[in-house]
Amino acid sequence: MRFRWATRTDVGRLRDHNEDAVWPTGIGDWEEVALVGVADGMGGHAGGEVASAVALETAIAAGGDPAMRIRAANLAVLDAARERPRLAGMGTTLILAEFGPGGEAHFGHVGDSRAYRFRAGDLSQVSTDHSYVAEMIAAGKMTADEAETHPYRSVLTRAVGLDKEVEVDTFTVDLEPGDLILLCSDGLTTMLSDAEVGAILHSGGDPVETVAKLVDAANSAGGVDNITVALVEAAE
Ligand code: CA
């Protein structure tokens, strides 16, 4: 199987800084392997930008499977915070997807950045949000509608860079030709419903065009947060 991809990150319409990071920054044109990632940092004094950048750079350079990469990223963010006390408490989400010629995507994931698979017109989220509201929904104590406006909707239950140990979700998604895998920060998914994202993916175009459409739509819907998308298309 081969893959082409594009990524895009945008500050949005309300924020001064972009605390998201994305890898790679260039496009891929029908390669046999791919490694993509999205990180959404948090913390004062530029901590968010540092955390997401350090985490993603470390994860890409570390080697190993996605969980090993994320554990290395976790320690690197902790180290960076130790060296710069003003950044203490910074952290980040991190989601990675590794694509190989066998037609599988291997994921590692911490936080509330998301992965979706789009197949034959259907969009399905394949990651689980590590957030307060997601846990309340899973426990039947909150509806998805309530979560959208809940004051704790951006509170994470897991993040990279906060503790020596980090629990990493890992999962594998089998791919078919024509499948799209979307990684994104919550700046996309808080602005657009899954149905709206699905409609944009359904409208066709190459990944470069599609990531631009996604970012434009999130900005048109308010752009209240940084918006980051990475889109990978699989072919025979
Ligand atoms: Ca965010």
Read off the pLDDT of residues 96-141 as tens digits, 9 standing for 90 and up.
999 998 899 999 999 999 999 999 999 999 999 999 999 999 999 9
Q: Are 69 and 108 in contact (CB under 8 A)?
A: yes
CA of 202 to the centre of ligand 1 (A): 25
CA of 187 to the centre of ligand 1 (A): 5
CA of 226 to the centre of ligand 1 (A): 6
CA of 225 to the centre of ligand 1 (A): 6
CA of 236 to the centre of ligand 1 (A): 34
Torsion angle, alpha carbons of 59, 163, 113, 52, to 10 = -50
CA of 101 to the centre of ligand 1 (A): 32
Query: How confident is the prediction along the chain (236 residues), in pLDDT tens digits per residue?
Result: 999 999 999 999 999 999 999 999 999 999 999 999 999 999 888 899 999 999 999 999 999 999 999 999 999 999 999 999 999 999 999 999 999 988 999 999 999 999 999 999 999 999 999 999 999 999 999 999 999 889 998 899 999 999 999 999 999 999 999 999 999 999 999 999 999 999 999 998 999 999 999 999 999 999 999 999 999 999 99
Cα(193)–Cα(196) distance, rounded to whole angstroms? 5
CA of 57 to the centre of ligand 1 (A): 18
